[in-house]
């Protein structure tokens, strides 16, 4: 099938969907304030905004997950009620969330037809699915179990599950967060085919270069309000950022020169068992140096989590060694030490889990108490030292612009992006000699992300060795000094970031080819 040219919108005389003065309250919080937005058939619409701007809440109401406080929707000029996801699907609207909702032990086909009425035979459903895949350019084995799938395959199942139910509007929330460049290109090709077929696609994303590459229009939200809707070809990343934030923000990433480069960490033949098997990491060897940022790239599940946890002492190494070389001299083998002992040596691991509340933070506690969790041993006897954590909490809220009613508000009431800021700010505040940070900007908006990048550079400048496990290859190429690529738990290559390309890194992530940089 021929894809539609960039920025050609098959817009009819009137919009397919009209959002009219949509307002949503959560208690005293106004998540959306009189938002009016049109969605047309045959277009790709991007929705941009800072964390807490209301963009996902707005789309959740269109998808029937929330119900608006006031305002309403019209489809083809007729008012409609959307009170449940079933109502939305019946109207032709489906949403793919960041965290997939699939039954792991079922096949792709079983997940796609799960819950549908009628008694359709599997052979008929498989043929219908084959036609759908061929029409839009999907590649999927219908008989493959979900637990054997890559992230991109799972996303394909989610999209096909919606299309199989006849959706005319597809809403994607951060669809490329864990995709390689090649997988992102494949997804965008599918979305353009859907656009050419007259369907509407709405993308919620923080990645401005992807907005410019695939969308036809951009809706910009700030503090619950719709600021503007502009044709993509008539704007720029700098202009979009200024509308999102309300002021000009530099999108230039600094890469300070590496100074006083000294060995801080030597990992040799490290193997770590994972939850699903014995080969989460296999014979991994690399070195990290002071005054540099070592970026780590890889498809989700390539061993990044296990690497971070092994260095922090949160999981045991099956084989190999992890040796830390402190600035004061000497060396210490980290394998076998407790997380407490490793932190005392000056090693901080800021791993941002998918479940921030369940793993990273205590949901019932406020910001001060969550900061205290890392510093409770600084008190004397049974008395906690709350002065230092409170000062740190105030600093985190001010510098990272955490949106919260106050320091005593339970963190479970904060948005995902603001939870992220508290978590990352707490870990980076330790000023360690070795900082291992995984996905520190996951779910953060542009402005907040660049604040975190500045903090990582500040750690580098003061002489820390920084290991930065990231998802955005554009950022890794600009921020890191070297990039280590993992593929299937093994080292695929270590590249000089200044000379590497995104496509080259992406190929190593998927093909597992080996190339060592001369650095």
Q: CA-CA distance, 35 to 71, in Å (whole number)?
A: 9
Flag whether the pTM goes above 0.85. no
The answer to whether residue 27 scores a pLDDT higher than 70 is: yes
The answer to whether residue 352 scores a pLDDT higher than 80 is: no
**DSSP strand pairing (217-222 vs 490-496):** unpaired
DSSP string over 233-275: GG--HHHHHHHHHSS----PPP-PPP-S--EEEEEEEEEEEET
- pLDDT category at 6 given cuts 50, 70, 90 is very low
- pLDDT category at 13 given cuts 50, 70, 90 is low
Q: Which domains does the chain have, with CATH numbers?
A: 17-245 (3.40.50.300), 263-346+431-516 (3.40.50.300), 360-429 (no CATH)
- pLDDT category at 1 given cuts 50, 70, 90 is very low
Residue range 473-486, pLDDT digits in tens: 889 999 999 999 99
Which is higher by pLDDT, 419 or 84?
Answer: 84
DSSP string over 95-130: EE-SS----TTSBHHHHHHTT-SS---HHHHHHHHH
Residue range 378-408, pLDDT digits in tens: 444 434 455 678 888 898 888 888 888 889 8
Residue range 166-213, pLDDT digits in tens: 899 999 988 887 677 778 888 999 999 999 999 999 999 877 888 999
Q: CA-CA distance, 418 to 30, in Å (whole number)?
A: 16
Average pLDDT over residues 237-261: 85
Q: Of all residues in the chain, what percent carry a pLDDT higher than 70?
A: 89
How many CA atoms, within 13 angstroms, populate the side-chain half-sphere of residue 445?
Answer: 30
* First CA to last CA distance, the chain: 45
DSSP letter at 358 equals I
Q: Of all residues in the chain, what percent carry a pLDDT higher than 90?
A: 45
| CA distances (Å), origin 415, targets 21, 35, 51, 196, 477 | 23, 20, 7, 36, 29
Please report which helix (H) or strand (E) contains residue 308, including its range.
helix 304-312
């Amino acid at each position: 099938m021929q894809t539609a040219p960039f920025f050609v919108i098959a817009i009819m005389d009137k919009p397919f969907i009209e959002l009219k003065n949509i307002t949503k309250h959560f208690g005293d919080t106004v998540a959306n304030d009189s938002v009016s937005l049109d969605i047309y058939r045959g277009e790709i619409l991007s929705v941009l905004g800072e964390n807490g701007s209301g963009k996902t809440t707005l789309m959740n109401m269109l998808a029937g997950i929330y119900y608006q406080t006031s305002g309403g929707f019209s489809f083809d000029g007729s008012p409609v009620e959307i009170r449940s996801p079933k109502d939305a699907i019946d109207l032709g609207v489906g949403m793919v969330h960041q965290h997939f909702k699939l039954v792991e032990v079922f096949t792709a086909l079983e997940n796609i037809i799960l819950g549908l009425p009628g008694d359709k035979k599997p052979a008929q459903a498989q043929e219908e699915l084959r036609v759908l895949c061929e029409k839009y350019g999907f590649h999927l084995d219908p008989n493959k179990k979900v637990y054997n799938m890559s992230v991109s395959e799972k996303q394909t199942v989610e999209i096909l599950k919606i299309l199989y139910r006849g959706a005319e509007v597809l809403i994607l929330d951060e669809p490329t967060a864990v995709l390689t460049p090649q997988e992102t290109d494949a997804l965008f090709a599918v979305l353009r085919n859907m656009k050419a077929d007259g369907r509407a696609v709405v993308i919620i994303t923080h990645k401005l270069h992807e907005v410019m590459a695939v969308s036809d229009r951009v809706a910009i939200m700030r503090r619950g309000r719709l600021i503007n809707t502009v044709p993509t070809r008539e704007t720029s990343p700098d202009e979009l950022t200024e509308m999102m934030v309300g002021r000009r923000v530099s999108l230039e990433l600094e890469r300070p020169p590496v100074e006083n480069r000294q060995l801080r960490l030597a990992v040799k033949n490290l193997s770590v068992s994972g939850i699903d098997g014995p080969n989460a990491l296999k014979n991994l060897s690399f070195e990290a140096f002071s005054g540099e940022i070592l970026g780590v790239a890889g498809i989700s599940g390539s061993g990044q989590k296990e690497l971070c946890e092994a260095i922090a002492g949160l999981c045991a190494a099956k084989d190999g060694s992890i040796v830390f070389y402190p600035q004061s001299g000497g060396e210490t083998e980290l394998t076998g030490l407790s997380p407490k002992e490793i932190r005392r040596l000056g090693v901080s691991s800021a791993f941002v889990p998918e479940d921030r509340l369940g793993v990273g933070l205590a949901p019932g506690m406020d910001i001060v108490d969550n900061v205290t969790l890392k510093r409770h041993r600084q008190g004397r006897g049974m008395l906690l030292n709350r002065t230092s954590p409170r000062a740190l909490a105030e600093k985190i809220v001010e510098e990272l612009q955490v949106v919260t009613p106050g320091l005593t508000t339970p963190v479970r009431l904060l948005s995902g992006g603001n939870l992220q800021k508290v978590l990352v700010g707490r870990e980076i505040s330790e000023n360690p000699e070795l900082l291992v940070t995984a996905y520190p900007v996951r779910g953060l908006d542009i402005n907040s992300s660049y604040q975190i990048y500045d903090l990582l550079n500040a750690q580098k400048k003061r002489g820390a060795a920084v290991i930065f496990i990231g998802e955005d290859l554009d950022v890794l190429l600009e921020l890191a000094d070297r990039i280590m690529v993992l593929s299937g738990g093994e080292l695929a290559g270590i590249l000089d970031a200044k000379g590497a390309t995104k496509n080259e890194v992406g190929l190593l992530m998927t093909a597992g080819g080996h190339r060592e940089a001369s650095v």
